[in-house]
Structure 1
Amino acid sequence: MDPHTIPAFAASLSEPRFRRYLNRYDGHHRLAIRLYAWNIEVSTAFWGPIGVLEIMLRNSIHDALRHGRSDDWWYDGVNLAQREASVLQATINRLFDRTGREPTPDQVVGASTFGFWVGLTGPGVSRDRRLSYETALWQPRLRHAFGNLGGVSRKELHAQLDGIRKFRNRIAHHEPIYTMNLTSMRDKIIQCAGYIDAEVSGYIAGSHRIDDALARQRDVLTSGSCVI
């Protein structure tokens, strides 16, 4: 079904949100609403690969940090910079408020944001010996969470993961991604998964539907036949 034929579809969008699509085609309403629908289609195609990477990342980092410690490693000698410490505590508080009980480590890990785990690959507080993630987390532990990293540095890894995080958040907030280099983002997701496990990375590479969605852009703009 062509979304252009459904008046309520465009009417449900705010004017500022839809304006970006109209501007893309100089006010051509039909193309703008079809582009909006295709943006949904290609966004949903990214969710599966990102979801696999997110679960891999958090579990691999969690395993590295709890090795030789209790499962709630955040109470067992791991110092976190203020940003990550605040995010973690907010997660614990939210779970406690929901159940009235201290959450289990598995519950905390499952409820923690993608940004929290990405943040642990960042610099922390580089000039503070206790809070420099390079020396306090990466060298002794976190580098083991990425067994196929090769010569890629922590800084390079963090930049790649943070780019995926920002991209993920754009999708989560239903923002336009059609102007971005989507093939590069696809490759970056597969590559980062490969740093953790080559077989899972291969599964993502062979099973995703991103390329199908990319190839359909012209057809969607021409016919309005979109799959969301």
Structure 2
Amino acid sequence: MIDPATLPALPDLLSAPRFERYRNRYAGRSDLAARLYAWNTELATAFWGPVGCLEVFVRNAVHDALRRDRRDDWWNDPTVRLLDRERRAIDDAVRTLRRRGELDPAPDRVVAATSLGLWVGLTDGGIPRDPMWSYETTLWQPRIVHAFPGLGNVRRKQLHRRLDEVRRFRNRLAHHEPVHEAPVERIRDDLVAIAGFIHSDAAALIAGAQRIDAVLARKRTAVETGASVI
């Protein structure tokens, strides 16, 4: 185990603007900033597993709800009307697979190649009160709601808001941004709650296997002593 504060080149390796965000947290102290950066990396790593599991659970559950009693490539069903943002997301996934040599990708391959943003977008309201483009009435009520049998009294808007926060947090993880000042406890709880809306086993896996709590408990030790684990 190495103390990041003993690595003088680290600030330059990370770039001055990126490192400055950590130095500002400790009034310009580079030693504590280096340790905070390493701990932030540890925290981000701890979140990747639960976020990845939830992403798979959500997309498979919504996909199953939308394809039930119709073709597996439900996005090509003429009765399914998608806004440009969701249509682009699917088209982008198909183009990516074709560039990789899959000229006619199977529906499950397309689903696996999509981003979380597609599935979060499908839980949005679309164009409210529009008979053709309201996701609430054309997608959510007849189908997508069944992807979340444990939803209880939680409304679609509330689910969408929580999913979108997870999506934005996931993007911060993917771009190696600071996440230590995010509402990480709430996001952790939302990961478990949303998984539970799909199935109790999904929630049990995330709640029982996550190491986020252990990393959060290590923050003071990591910053004060430099005992870093990335």
Normalised by the size of structure 2, how large is the TM-score? 0.96
Secondary structure at 1:101's aligned position in 2? coil
Secondary structure at 2:104's aligned position in 1? coil
Is the CA contact (8 Å cut-off) linking 2:46 and 2:210 kept in structure 1? yes
Structure-2 residue corresponding to 1:61? 62
Structure-2 residue corresponding to 1:143? 145
Alignment pair present for 1:111 and 2:118: no
Alignment pair present for 1:200 and 2:216: no
Q: Which moved more, 1:94-103 or 1:154-163?
A: 94-103
Structure-1 residue corresponding to 2:5? 4
Equivalent residues in 2 for 1:44-59 (5 A)?
Answer: 44-59=45-60
Cα distance in structure 2, aligned partners of 1:58 and 1:87 = 13
Percent identity over the alignment?
A: 51
* Counterpart AA for 2:155: S
Could you tell me how far 1:57 is from its partner in structure 2? 0.3
Cα displacement string for residues 60-109 of structure 1 (whole angstroms, at most 9, x for unaligned residues):
00000000111100111211011111111111122112215121101100
Q: Which moved more, 1:84-93 or 1:184-193?
A: 84-93
Could you tell me how far 1:8 is from its partner in structure 2? 3.0
* Counterpart AA for 1:203: L
Structure-1 residue corresponding to 2:172? 170
- Which 5+ residue runs of structure 2 have no aligned equivalent? none
| Cα root mean square deviation, aligned | 1.0
Is the CA contact (8 Å cut-off) linking 2:57 and 2:202 kept in structure 1? no
Structure-2 residue corresponding to 1:41? 42
Secondary structure at 1:12's aligned position in 2? helix
Alignment coverage as a number of residue pairs? 228
Structure 1 segments, 4+ long, off by >3 Å, are none
Q: Which moved more, 1:214-223 or 1:175-184?
A: 175-184
Cα distance in structure 2, aligned partners of 1:11 and 1:43 = 21
Secondary structure at 2:105's aligned position in 1? coil
Secondary structure at 1:149's aligned position in 2? coil
Could you tell me how far 1:127 is from its partner in structure 2? 3.7
Cα distance in structure 1, aligned partners of 2:122 and 2:102 = 28
* Counterpart AA for 2:101: T
- Which 5+ residue runs of structure 1 have no aligned equivalent? none
Cα distance in structure 2, aligned partners of 1:43 and 1:157 = 23
Cα distance in structure 1, aligned partners of 2:87 and 2:129 = 18
* Counterpart AA for 1:93: R
CA distance 1:22–1:94, change in 2 (3 Å): same
Structure-2 residue corresponding to 1:32? 33
Given the alignment, which residue of 221, 224, 229 partners 1:222?
A: 224
Structure-2 residue corresponding to 1:16? 17
Structure-2 residue corresponding to 1:71? 72
Q: Which moved more, 1:19-28 or 1:97-106?
A: 97-106
* Counterpart AA for 2:128: S
Cα distance in structure 1, aligned partners of 2:185 and 2:102 = 45
